[in-house]
Amino acid sequence: MLSNHYRIVLFLLICLSIGEVTALAPRNGMERIEIAEKDLSFLKKGLDLKQPYSELQVSKAEESLRLIPENISKIKILLKVSDWYAASYDNPLTLGKAFRYAEEALRISQKLHSNIYSGKCHLQLSMLQQLRNNNVMIEVEAKKAIEILNKTNQTDDLAEAWVMVWSAKMRTMAPIPERLVPIFKAASLFEISKNNKRSGDCYSQISELYFSVSDFHNSQISLQKAIFFYRAANLKESDIYPISSRLQIIYESEKKTMDIIKLKNKTFLQQSKLKNEIFLRNFMITFVLLLLIILALLYKSFIFKKKTNKVLKTQQNEINKKNCTLQNLVVEKEWLLREIHHRVKNNLHMVVGLLASQAEFLKNEEALQAINSSQNRIHAMSLIHQKLYQSENLSIIDMPSYIFELTEYLKDSFAIRNSIRFVLDIDSFNLPLSHSIPIGLIFNEAVTNAIKYAFPDYKNAIIKISLKTNDNKNFILIIEDNGKGLPNDLDPYDSPSLGIKLMHGLSDDIRGKFQIASENGTKITLEFSTNDSSLLLI
């Protein structure tokens, strides 16, 4: 019997449901509570048993369900009643009742936040959807059950949910691999829960799936596992005998298949051997024919080669004579070029000497400066010709050596060796003659201007010279000093100075970008490249 407090709760529920509050209601309510208690006690006896409710239990359950509080016991009763109605699924009315009771159980389970019974309810709905032949909802409800039961220890129910997924795959004729996945999961879960009977059922179905795709080996292994689990579940041998007979059928099928494969392999080997013999015979015939043709061609080639060798020998002798003549001409040409560069250098030095002689008779300071500037420019050009006739290559100039010697000459020319410090940063590379002369003249003008105008008192005077390249195609020349800079009224891009005009003109000749800046001294920058095909060697 239930407690007095529980009786009062049931009494109030009865009063609210019938809507009668009279003086006789307490007495009638107590009588109904007594009847509900007896029915509930009668129903509870079968809750933990696996056998289904009888018709009498179902009748009493339906009468008492509205009086039972929403707890786990009520969920169990609802599922038992749903099972009883599901057994008569051929009647649409009873199947509808089975759905309603299962859905009511699910609602209460969710309200109580019971993962175990929420999963059981979804599993029950999946089974009911199978009776209704709703293949899509079978899998949907089963997967909901799996998602919830994975959080519990209800291994058997989780395995049954995977069985329902397998059932949906079977009904929709899914590919064999998709059918095997859920039934294998179910089998492994039944093994964990020691449910040997259901493990045997799963492996029996796995065997049938393998058999359907003629994988007799795996089919036989799966069926042997099924028999092992059936015996572990203490099934009668009479029940196991049909499965054992099936195993024998699979064994015979596998043996027959292997015999067919062996026979096919034997036939294939014989055919391959015959084809190889035919191929070998044809190959030998073809080889002999080709060999005869090759021998004939070789003989013909030998005769032809013998005739042509005489002609080639004669031609080779003539070519060797011409090569010797050309080699002598090349050597002679190189010596002539060296002699030309040497004479040009001597002539330029003669011009420098004439200018020096002329300077001795001049009294005008501007004229003397013009003579000196001309001498420096001529020396810059003569130094290039000197480098050319002294080097092995008559068309390129070693720039580090050239810049260094030109710098030393300017130091001596202006007698400022101890007054101005030169800082040189020159990469090691060569330039063609077409670029060497313009670069030398621009260098001469920039350094000469710095020496003459940048340092009034030569105090801490520094001239930095940088000629750099990254790829031997693009170059940058920077000449900067820490002197007083350019005059404020001087426009470096529109200046009457011959030196600046000369630097602009030479920069244009080599397609260079020329810039003059006056910040903490004067900085001259020249960017140029040597990949311009329009530039020709001088």
Note whether 117 and 107 are within 8 A (CB): no
Least Cα distance to 58 among 37, 91, 84 occurs for 84
Sign of CA dihedral 352, 356, 358, 362: positive
Q: CA 253, CA 270: separation in Å to the nearest integer?
A: 26
**Domain-embedded: residue 341:** no
CATH of residue 477's domain is 3.30.565.10
**CA 47/CA 120 separation, integer angstroms:** 14
Question: Closest Cα to residue 118, out of 146, 140, 84, 138?
Answer: 146
Q: How far is CA 106 from CA 39, 138, 145, 345, 360, in A?
A: 23, 16, 11, 111, 123
pLDDT of residue 153: 92
> Does 485 fall in a domain?
yes
Q: Name the domain count of the chain.
A: 1
502 in a domain, yes or no? yes
Residue 193 falls inside a structural domain: no
Q: pTM, whole model, 2 decimals? A: 0.43
In a domain, 317, yes or no: no
Token reading at 64:
């008492």
The answer to whether residue 130 sits within a structural domain is: no
Residue 412 covered by a domain? yes
Q: Which domain holds residue 412?
A: 395-529
Is residue 418, in this structure, part of any structural domain at all?
yes
pLDDT in tens for each of the 538 residues of the chain?
333 333 333 333 333 333 333 333 333 444 444 444 444 444 544 554 456 788 888 888 888 888 888 899 899 999 999 989 888 766 778 888 899 999 999 999 999 999 999 999 999 999 999 988 999 999 999 999 999 999 999 999 999 999 999 999 999 999 999 999 999 999 999 999 999 999 989 998 998 898 888 888 888 888 888 889 888 888 887 777 677 666 667 666 666 666 677 777 877 888 888 888 899 889 999 999 999 999 999 998 888 888 888 888 888 888 888 888 777 776 656 655 555 655 665 666 667 666 666 666 666 666 666 676 676 667 766 766 666 556 566 567 788 887 888 788 777 777 777 788 889 998 888 888 788 888 888 888 888 888 888 888 878 888 899 999 888 888 999 999 988 888 777 766 666 677 788 888 888 888 888 888 887 888 889 999 887 443 333 3
Q: How far is CA 144 from CA 81, 152, 164, 165, 333, in A?
A: 22, 13, 11, 11, 97
Q: Distance (Å, rounded) from C-alpha 360 to C-alpha 389?
A: 32
